[in-house]
């Protein structure tokens, strides 16, 4: 079935209702934002996202991010009526050090910082660009195929990141296994939130450490119940 403006609007409305319900269940009053993951769609669908008011866009792969950003920039330059808020790209997939130079001119946030060597590469490449917003990716599921630093190494790595003047540590990110049972993701979300609270207690990142990027189409309601502030949602927007 073709993706239409009304379909995306309806899906987005349902997602926001589910988020509101999850916030109510957990007694939350703070905001939860959505990063629309565009890896499975084309420029036409991205235009529909913009029409629906979505401005935070996420990509997993550097090459596709570059292509999508170029296509979108061309479209926005041709568009007669500028958007009230310019779209912002998030790098949400694994980032290799040799691709940092290609990503930095495009993205507003890197979710997948998972090593000191990668942090140092960003530090070097970001010279003269101002601070780059980053999140520390943590492998809370302990899956060997998943990227992210170990839970036990996260606090020390966070401290090291905060010594790099071109990096701005704003939060933590984790990935969960693909499953139809959202409850299986809950312990992973709980562990990331506990780690986040430990880092806040130790003042790692100071007042700027605010974000928990966790939860996708399969489990975002559970993620909200456990404290997610940023959801990375693709399939549920386009189904």
Residue range 215-230, pLDDT digits in tens: 999 999 999 999 999 9
Full-model pTM? 0.95
Residue 135: closest CA among 180, 101, 167? 167
Q: Provide the token pair at 162.
A: 């905060």
Q: What would the mean pLDDT of 28-53 be, rounded to a whole number?
A: 94
What pLDDT, on a 0 to 100 scale, did the predictor assign at position 85? 84
Q: Count Cα atoms within 13 angstroms, Cβ side, for 203.
A: 0
How far apart CA 182 and CA 62 sit, in angstroms, is 28
Domain of 104: which CATH number? 3.20.20.10
At residue 1 the predicted structure's pLDDT band, cuts being 50, 70 and 90, is low
Spatial separation of the C-alpha atoms in residues 64 and 141, rounded to whole Å:
27
Least confident of 127-131, 153-157, 224-228: 127-131
Tell me: the pLDDT tens digits for 74-119? 999 888 778 888 899 999 999 999 999 999 999 999 999 999 999 9
> Mean pLDDT throughout 8-35?
96
Range of the domain at 133: 5-238
Q: What is the DSSP letter of 133?
A: E
Q: Can you tell me the distance from the alpha carbon of 181 to that of 26, in angstroms, rounded to the nearest whole number?
A: 19
Give the percent of the chain with pLDDT over 90. Answer: 88
List, for residues 184-206, the tens digit of each pLDDT value: 999 999 999 999 999 999 999 99
Which ranges of 162-208 would DSSP assign to H, the alpha helix? 186-201
For residues 124-132, give the mean pLDDT: 94
Q: How many domains does the chain have?
A: 1
Residue-level pLDDT at 178: 85
Percent of the chain surpassing pLDDT 70: 100
């Amino acid at each position: 079935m073709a993706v239409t403006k009304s379909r995306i609007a309806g899906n987005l409305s349902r997602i926001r209702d589910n988020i509101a319900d999850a916030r109510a269940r957990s007694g939350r009053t703070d905001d939860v934002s959505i990063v629309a993951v565009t890896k499975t769609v084309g420029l036409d669908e991205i235009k529909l996202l913009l029409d629906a008011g979505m401005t935070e866009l996420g990509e997993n792969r550097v090459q596709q991010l570059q292509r999508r950003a170029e296509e979108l920039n061309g479209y926005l330059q041709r568009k007669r009526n500028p958007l009230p808020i310019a779209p912002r790209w998030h790098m949400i997939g694994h980032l290799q050090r040799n691709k940092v130079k290609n990503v930095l001119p495009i993205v507003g946030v890197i979710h997948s910082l998972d090593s000191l060597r990668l942090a140092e590469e960003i530090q070097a490449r970001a010279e003269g660009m101002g601070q780059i917003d980053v999140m520390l990716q943590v492998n809370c599921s302990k899956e060997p195929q998943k990227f992210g630093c170990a839970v036990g190494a996260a606090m020390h790595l966070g401290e090291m990141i905060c010594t790099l003047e071109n990096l701005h540590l704003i939060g933590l990110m984790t990935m969960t296994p693909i499953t139809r049972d959202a409850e299986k993701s809950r312990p992973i979300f709980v562990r990331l939130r506990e780690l986040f609270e430990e880092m806040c207690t130790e003042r790692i990142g100071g007042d700027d450490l605010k974000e928990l990027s966790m939860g996708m189409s399969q489990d975002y309601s559970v993620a909200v119940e456990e404290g997610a502030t940023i959801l990375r949602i693709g399939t549920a927007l386009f189904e």
